[in-house]
Amino acid sequence: MQLPILLNVPNLGYLFSLSLAIIIAVFLTQNSKKISSRLFVGFISSISLWILSNAIADNIGTYDGALFWSRVAIVGPVFIGPLFFIFADVFPNEDNRFNLKKFILFMTTTLPFLAVLFTKWNVESVTLKTFGIDFVPGVLYQYLGAYLGLFMISGFWRLIKKFRIAVGTAKRQIGWIFIGFSATFIIAIVFSLIFPLLGYSSVTFVGPASSLIFLICTVYVLIWHRLFGVKFIIGKTLYHGALLLFPYILFYTVYFIYSKLWGSIFTPEALLVGFLVSAAFVTVFKKYDSWLGKFVEDVIIHTNFNPQEVLSEFQKVFSKELDFNRLVSLFLDKVNETVAPKSASFILLDIESKDLKINSTIGKELFESKSEFYIAVELCAEHNSFITVDDLASLISEIPEDERLTKVRNYLLSRDIYGVFRLFSESKSIAILILGEKPNDTAYTEEEIEFILSVNQVISVALERSLLYQEVRNLNNSLQMRVEKATKELQQKYAELKQIRDKERDMIDIMGHELRTPLSIIKVSLGALDLKAQKAPEAFDYQTYKEYLPRLTDAIERESQLLETMISSTKIDAKRMEVHLEETDILPLIEDSIIGQKELVLQKGLKIIFNRPETNVKVFADKVRLGEVLDNLIGNAVKYTQKGTVTVRIADEGTFLKVSVQDTGVGIPREALSRLGEKFFRVKQHLNEGGNDVPVVRPGGTGLGLYVTFGLVELMSGKVSVESKLGEGSTFSFTIPKYTGQKIDAKTADSKDIFTRLGLKESES
C-alpha cells in the first residue's frame, strides 16, 4: 500500500475549511446564547462532519476504510438541509419563531437516509488512487439531490423575503450569509453530487473545500456588522487553536518517546509513566489555559485598551471627582480614546422645558433640538436605556407599523449619529450621551457597545453624585437644619424603640418566672403525693389527695389565665382579635368575677362591696371577653389592695353603661397614668428604680393584663378611664354600649402596622 500524499491542494482545502468551521462553532457556542446561533453551530458542525469524512476517505489508503468513510460522508449533507431551513426561518432576530416540535419533525426526515447509510444504495464501491478515491454512487444520491434541493430552495426563498424587508445591519447579515451559502451550495451540488452521478467522482473534494467561501463570508459578517471585532475574532481563533495544539503536540511527543524507550505505549513501564504524565498534564494544562487566555486578551484582543482596566481606572478617577463639568470632560475624553467615534456629545436637559443645561461635544456638533431627538430619548427608556441605528433597523422589520422608528432612524443617519444613550434621569434633569458614527464607516463591535454601556453605568453614578453634591452645597444651611431636626427625631425614635426592646427583654424574664412558678408548684405537689404514696400506700387516701388538690388547682388556673392573657395580647397586637357582640346580662358576670376572688379576699381580710341593681342590666358585648375584662380589673384591685375595700359600681350614662372598680390600695403615680394600657408597661418595673445599681426586674405580673383589657373594651366600642392617687387607691372605669335591640355582630380590630400600634408614628387615618 502506497502512503497518501498529505501536503497537497485538496488536503490543504480540507484542513483550512475544517479548522475554520470548528473555530467558528466553538466561538459562537461560547459567545452567543441565541437560538439562531445554536442552529448555526449545528449547521456548521454538519459541514465539519462532511469535510472530515471526505478527508479521511481520501487519505485512509485502505479499501474498507475508504468505503466506510465515503458512506459516512453523506451524513453531513443530510443534516445540512433541514438545519439550514430552520436557521433561515429564525435568522437574524426571530428566535420566537423557533418551534421545537417542528424542529424534531424535520430532523426525523433524516432517518431514512441513515437507515441505508452502510448499504450499496449509498456508495456501491470505491477505487483507491495515488491520492483520493473514485466511487460509484448509489441510488440514494439521487434522492439526496431532491431532498437537499427542497430544503435549500425553501431556505433561500425565506432569506430572500427577509432581505427585501430588512434594513441596516440585519439586511447586510442576511445578504452575506445568502451569498456565501448559495455559492457553496451550487459548487457542492455540482462537484459532490452531479459529477459523481455522471461518473466523475475524483473531483468530489471540491465540494467540501468550497465551504471555505461560506465560512469566509460568515467571518466577514461576524467582524464587520456589529457582532465581534477583528482582533476579537483573531484572538479567540489563536486562543482555541493554541489550546488544541498543546495536547496534540504532547500526544505525539509522548508517543515518540515511548516508542523509542519501550517500543510500545502499552508496556507496564509506559502505563506507569503515563499515569504520572497525565497528572502533570492536568496541572500544567490549567496554568497554560489561564496564561494563554490572559496573553491573548492583553496582546491581541485589547491592544488599544483593556475594558476591565479602563473601567477600573474610571472608577478610581470618578469616585474622587465631584465637579460636574470636569466629570463630563473626562468622560468624553475616555470615550474618544477608547472606541474612537467621529463625534460624541454629552447633553443635560431640563425634563419639563427641554431647555439645554449643558452641551459638551468632541468633533462635530450632534445635538439638534428636534422632535425626532426627543422621540429617540423616549425609545431609550423603552429599550434598555439606549437605541442605535442598527437596533432601529431591526425594530423596523419587527414592528413596521410603528412610524416613530423610521422617523428617528432617518434623523440619526442625517446627523451622522450612531446611537443615543440615556445615562440617568432625576427629578429635574436627564443626561444623554450622543455617539457619532465611527471613521471609515466601520461598525461598532459588540465589545465596544458593552464597554460603552459599562462606562455609562459608572459615569451615571458619578454624575448623579456630583449633582447631589452641588445641591447639598447650595442648600447647605437649610439642609443642615433639616438634618438636625431629623437627627433629633431619630434619636427620639431610637430611645422609644430601645425602651420597648428593654421592656420586652424584661417581660421575657417576667413571663419566664410567671410560667415556671405554677408549673413548679404542680411539680412539687405531684412529687410530694408520689412520695407519700410510695412510703405509705396503705395510708394514701382521698383526704391526703385533697390536701394538695387546692394547690394544684390554683397553679393550673394561674397557668391557664396567664396563657389566655398572652394569647389575647398576641391577637390584639396583630389585630386578629374577634369579638361576638350580642345581648349580655352583665350582673352575673360581675358576681362571677367577685366569687373568683373570694379566697384571696378572705386571706387578706378585705371586703368587696357590690350594690346589685334589682333589675337585670343588658349590654351589647361579647360575654366571654367582657368577663375577662371584669376578672382583670377586679383581680387587680384585690391584688394591689392590702387592707380596706374594693367597690364595684354600675352607672347609667345614656346609651352606655359605666362600670367602675374602686380600691383602697397603693395607688398609681400620676406620671404613670398616661401609660396604662401600653403593652408590657408596669408601674415600678424594677425593684431598685432610681438607684445606681444594675436594674433588677420586679417579679409578679406581665404587663399584659391591662393591655388586653384596654384592647377588648375598645373592640366592644367602649372606653377605659383611670383615676388614682398615690397611697389612697385607684378607680378603673369602663363604658360598654347598652343593649337596645342591636343585631348580633362579629367585630375585628382594624389592621395597623407595628410602629403605629406602638405609638411611634401617627396613623394616616
pLDDT along the chain (765 residues), means of 10: 50 72 71 73 83 84 88 88 85 71 88 89 85 82 86 87 72 78 80 74 70 71 52 64 79 83 81 84 86 74 62 75 82 81 85 77 81 80 76 73 84 85 75 83 71 79 78 74 82 80 62 57 65 66 64 63 63 69 88 85 89 84 85 87 91 90 88 72 52 46 72 87 88 91 70 46 44
3-class DSSP string for 563-594: HHHHHHHHHHHCCCCEEEEEEEEHHHHHHHHH
Give Cβ neighbours of residue 753 (< 8 Å, ≥ 6 apart): none
C-alpha cell at position 520: 413548679
C-alpha cell at position 594: 367577685
On whether the CB atoms of residues 451 and 427 are closer than 8 A, the answer is no
Tell the residue number behind the cell numbers 377605659, with chain if given.
Answer: 720
| CA proximity to 428, closest of 502, 490, 349 | 349
HSE-CB for 422 with a 13 A CA cutoff: 21
Eight-class DSSP state of 215: H
Report the alpha-carbon distance of residue 75 to residue 199 in Å, rounded. Answer: 21
Give Cβ neighbours of residue 198 (< 8 Å, ≥ 6 apart): none
Distances (CA, A) of 730 to 322, 628, 662, 725, 726: 65, 20, 6, 6, 8
Give Cβ neighbours of residue 167 (< 8 Å, ≥ 6 apart): 393, 396, 397, 409
Length of the chain: 765
Report the alpha-carbon distance of residue 719 to residue 740 in Å, rounded. Answer: 19
Q: Is 208 exposed, middle or buried (0-12, 13-18, 19+ CB in 10 A)?
A: buried
Q: What is the pTM of this model?
A: 0.42
Tell the residue number behind the cell numbers 354600675, with chain if given.
Answer: 650
Three-class SS of residue 722? strand
Three-class SS of residue 442? coil
Show the beta-strand stretches assigned E in 444-522.
none
Rounded to the nearest 10 degrees, how much is the dihedral formed by the CA atoms of 401, 402, 403, 409?
-120
Look at residue 541 in the predicted model and tell me its pLDDT.
66
Report the alpha-carbon distance of residue 524 to residue 552 in Å, rounded. Answer: 10
Eight-class DSSP state of 688: T
- The number of beta carbons lying within 10 Å of the beta carbon of residue 278 is 10
Report the alpha-carbon distance of residue 197 to residue 381 in Å, rounded. Answer: 60
Report the alpha-carbon distance of residue 397 to residue 321 in Å, rounded. Answer: 44
